[in-house]
Amino acid sequence: MSDAVSPLAPKSYPQMPPIDGVRIATAEAGIKYKGRTDLLAMVFDEGTTVAGVFTKSKCPSAPVDFCRANLPGGSARILVVNSGNANAFTGKKGRETTEMTAVLASKAAGSSSKEVFLASTGVIGEPLDAKKFAHLLDDMVVRAEPGLWAEAGKAIMTTDTYPKYLTATCQIDGIDVTLNGIAKGAGMIAPDMATMLSFVATDAPIGARALQDLLSKGVGMTFNSVTVDSDTSTSDTLMLFATGAAEKRGAARIEDAEDPRLSNFRRALNKLLKALALQVVRDGEGARKQIGVTVTGAKNARSAKRVALSIANSPLVKTAVAGEDANWGRVVMAVGKAGEPADRDMLSIWFGDIRVAHAGERDPDYSEEATSSYMEGDEIDIRVDLGLGRGQATVWTCDLTKEYVAINGDYRS
């Protein structure tokens, strides 16, 4: 966790309402960080359903394996998250840590170990000693209380410079329901499912299969459309918990994701996921600028997204933005290397509303002064039209500064 807060941090934070059926506690376990919380327990009432999406990394962490094994049960009673150690690439010791944690967490929550979910974030390859924190779980469950969402956001931070938490409300069949979400992440961000760690809870009464469908479809244009440094984490975990408490207030229980009564909830969830994902981008390690990359005119949407990610992940594009240089030649390079259909002579490029290139060459009305002025802002939009079809996609990233190198050059020290 950096001492200097990102200049792109939120200017204000929302008041986080309690979610009926969720209680929260945090603790200082001293896993890596001193003088700050690094352990989170989220306790759910009986009947809470769960959905999750996880990293597609071929080297997943032990907690990811554990969650994948428990997810088909569709039921959750407790979530335990630690920061400072990813419990990834830790072999048999890593599995033993998850098993010990699950046994003690289920005992504390009065549940089956199949209703326990775990997540860890931090250094890869260092064994995580469950004895450092497992003894804290009984007390955490006892003192857990509903309103500690801001504290939850702080406890899961690593190199983040600010906590990420948001709330939303919507109606299901005329009954108000609430969604609260937290996220962490600043580096090793190039999601291949979700991103880093993010946990969302709601009091909506939604069955596990419907919940999973909503979440799986929701990540595509949100968490799967952001990148900080093109590196997919071993620990990426996004989970959605539904306590069903709104059923007591008259909300109908819904088991089918295509039920039209879920339309408002789907919109609210997707909006919340996108906002959390953008908070991660805006806290990218060393970031000073948010960059939106939109590609239109591609053969199809999948092709458009691959081209957009090629631009967004280019160190040369990202450093040009950091230097406030509208170097559209680097955008041309990134389009050309993407391996997707493109025609040099049909390419058009915009920085904001300024068209800098058209029909395969510099725009005849290009103004260096106007474009340089635009590049001084902290939100930069790059748009590329390929002129080949109707496919389009938008992804978000941040600039690449020398601070990124400084943060990651001594991460283990």
The residues carrying an active-site annotation are 195
**Residue 161: helix, strand or coil by DSSP?**
coil
Dist. CA 156–CA 32, nearest whole Å: 12
Dist. CA 346–CA 359, nearest whole Å: 5
- The DSSP bridge pattern shows strands 78-85 and 379-385 to be unpaired
CB 388 within 8 Å of CB 342? yes
Burial of 312 (0-12, 13-18, 19+ CB in 10 A): buried
CB 358 within 8 Å of CB 325? no
Residue matched to tokens 């009947």: 47
Which helix (H) or strand (E) segment holds residue 139: the answer is helix 137-143
Q: Which two tokens stand for residue 200?
A: 């969302």
CB 286 within 8 Å of CB 407? yes
CB 221 within 8 Å of CB 260? no
CB 175 within 8 Å of CB 246? yes
Which helix (H) or strand (E) segment holds residue 169: the answer is strand 164-172
CB 109 within 8 Å of CB 141? yes
Nearest in space to 288 (alpha carbons), one of 334, 323, 331: 323
DSSP track, 52-102: EEE---SS--HHHHHHHHHGGG-B-SEEEEEEEE---S-HHHHHHHHHHHH
Nearest in space to 82 (alpha carbons), one of 46, 35, 42, 53: 42
Dist. CA 406–CA 184, nearest whole Å: 20
Which helix (H) or strand (E) segment holds residue 322: the answer is helix 315-322
